[in-house]
Structure formats: structure tokens, C-alpha cells
């Protein structure tokens, strides 16, 4: 009886000690879980155009007033490609007239790449004592093959999995 009580007390002490050690060791290795950012795609962005500050200065020489007025009232269109990537293109168009920005347009063209998960394959394996003609079906990273060994005159079956891709 005395031995059972001492054995139970020893087990309780070991359980308490291991729980305390696990708590202390686990508290040091806690990490913050980061949530991924949400990507928002827009087609066209039209920001508000701020009013410019106008400073008038005298011109000290003779000038061609007609050319200045023609330039002032002409409308200039500027097209600038900001980002040029295989799947992403961002263009900005500005229209300027009368020393003011009349319109600004940002066009985002995002083409998501097409990912193919299925494929049919046809292959020929040749060796010293074998010549295997096979056809296969690929689904994601698995490929299932069936073929015929022309040298040994037998049916061949196969399966493979991609370990990593680059």
C-alpha cells in the first residue's frame, strides 16, 4: 500500500515537472502568424486633380504672342508605360492644355498565366535489351504510363511523380 502511494506521488511529481518544463520551453518559441495581404486589381484609376498655384511674372523681352497662345491652347497627350512585365502592364495617360492637367488615366492590364494541369504524353525508351513504346496521361504532378516492349514482346505499366519543379 505504501509503495503504491509513493509510486503515485512520484508519477504526479514527474507529470507536474514535465508540464512546467513544456510551458517554459514553449513560451520562448511562440511566433506571430502573418496573414497574407489582399491584392486588389483596378482597371482605371482617376485621381482628383489639385488646383495649381499661379505666379504671374513680367517678360523682359519681345515674344511671339501668337506662338505662345497657340501653344497655350493646344492639347497635349502624353502616354507613359510605368510597369512592363510579361503578365502586368501599367500605362498612364495625361492630357495637358492651358497649363493645366485636364485628365489623367491609369490603365492596368493584368493577364494571369494559364496553368495546364493535364497532358497526354507519347514516349519511346530504348536500351540494350528493351525497346518500349508508351503513352501516358499526366495529372498535375502524377504521370500514368502504359506501353509495349517491342524487343521482349511484353506489356509495360508505369507511374511517376514529380519531386520538384523549377
- What pLDDT shows up at residue 103? 93
CB contact at 8 A, 107 and 93: yes
Q: Encode pLDDT of 34-90 as tens digits.
A: 666 776 666 676 777 778 788 888 877 787 888 888 889 999 999 999 999 988 999
pLDDT confidence of residue 165: 75
Rounded Cα distance between 89 and 82, Å, is 8
**Interval 73-84: pLDDT, tens:** 999 999 999 999
Prediction pTM value: 0.36
Q: Label each residue of 65-113 as H, E or C.
A: HHHHHHHHHCCEEEEEEEEECCCEEEEEEEEEECCEEEEEEEEEEECCC
Amino acid at each position: 500500500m505504501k509503495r503504491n502511494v509513493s509510486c503515485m506521488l512520484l508519477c504526479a511529481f514527474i507529470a507536474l515537472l514535465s508540464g512546467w518544463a513544456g510551458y517554459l520551453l514553449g513560451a520562448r518559441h511562440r511566433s506571430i502568424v502573418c496573414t497574407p495581404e489582399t491584392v486588389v486589381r483596378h482597371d482605371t484609376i482617376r485621381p482628383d486633380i489639385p488646383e495649381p498655384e499661379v505666379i504671374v511674372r513680367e517678360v523682359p523681352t519681345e515674344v511671339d504672342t501668337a506662338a505662345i497662345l497657340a501653344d497655350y491652347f493646344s492639347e497635349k497627350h502624353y502616354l507613359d508605360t510605368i510597369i512592363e512585365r510579361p503578365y502586368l502592364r501599367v500605362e498612364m495617360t495625361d492630357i495637358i492644355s492651358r497649363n493645366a492637367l485636364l485628365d489623367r488615366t491609369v490603365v492596368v492590364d493584368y493577364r494571369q498565366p494559364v496553368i495546364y494541369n493535364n497532358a497526354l504524353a507519347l514516349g519511346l525508351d530504348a536500351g540494350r535489351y528493351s525497346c518500349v513504346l508508351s503513352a501516358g496521361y499526366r495529372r498535375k504532378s502524377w504521370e500514368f504510363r502504359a506501353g509495349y516492349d517491342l524487343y521482349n514482346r511484353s506489356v509495360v505499366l508505369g507511374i511517376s511523380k514529380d519531386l520538384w519543379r523549377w
